[in-house]
Structure 1
Amino acid sequence: MYAALWRALPGPVWVRILIMIVLIAVVLYVLATWVFPWVQDIVDTQEVTVEE
């Protein structure tokens, strides 16, 4: 999958690296902004089933 993505990116190696860094930053931003808070609302962390 990563090789196919690498081949699909345009430009020389340094442009591809820059595009990959931007893509990774966008994915992390989306995860931290929308996905992780949505999952936290679904999974209740207050109901712990492990007891001492």
Structure 2
Amino acid sequence: MYGFIWRHIPGPRPVKILVALLLLVAVFLLLMEVVYPWVSTLMPYNDVSV
């Protein structure tokens, strides 16, 4: 899978490294801002009663 992504990024090696890092940052931000907050609302530990 990573080879597939690496082969399809255009440009020489430094450009590929930069684009790959930008993709990693984008995936990280998507997970932190969208996916994890949505999943945390589904978790049962939010229904705490004392």
TM-score normalised by L of structure 1 = 0.83
**How many residues were matched structurally?**
47
Residue 8 (1) aligns with residue 8 (2): yes
Whole-angstrom CA distance in 2 between matches of 1:46 and 1:26: 28
User: Relative CO higher for 1 or 2, CA cutoff 8 Å, sep ≥ 6?
Assistant: 2
Between the aligned partners of 1:44 and 1:29, the Cα distance in structure 2 is 24
Q: Which SS does the other structure have where 1:27 is aligned?
A: helix
Q: Which runs of 4+ in 1 moved over 3 A?
A: none
- Partners of 1:6 and 1:46 in 2: CA distance: 41
Q: CA RMSD in A?
A: 1.2
SS state at 1:10 partner: coil
Equivalent residue for 1:29? 29
CA distance in 2, matches of 1:2, 1:45: 36
The structure in which a higher percent of residues are helix is 2
Identity %: 36
What is the aligned partner in structure 1 of residue 44 from structure 2?
Answer: 44
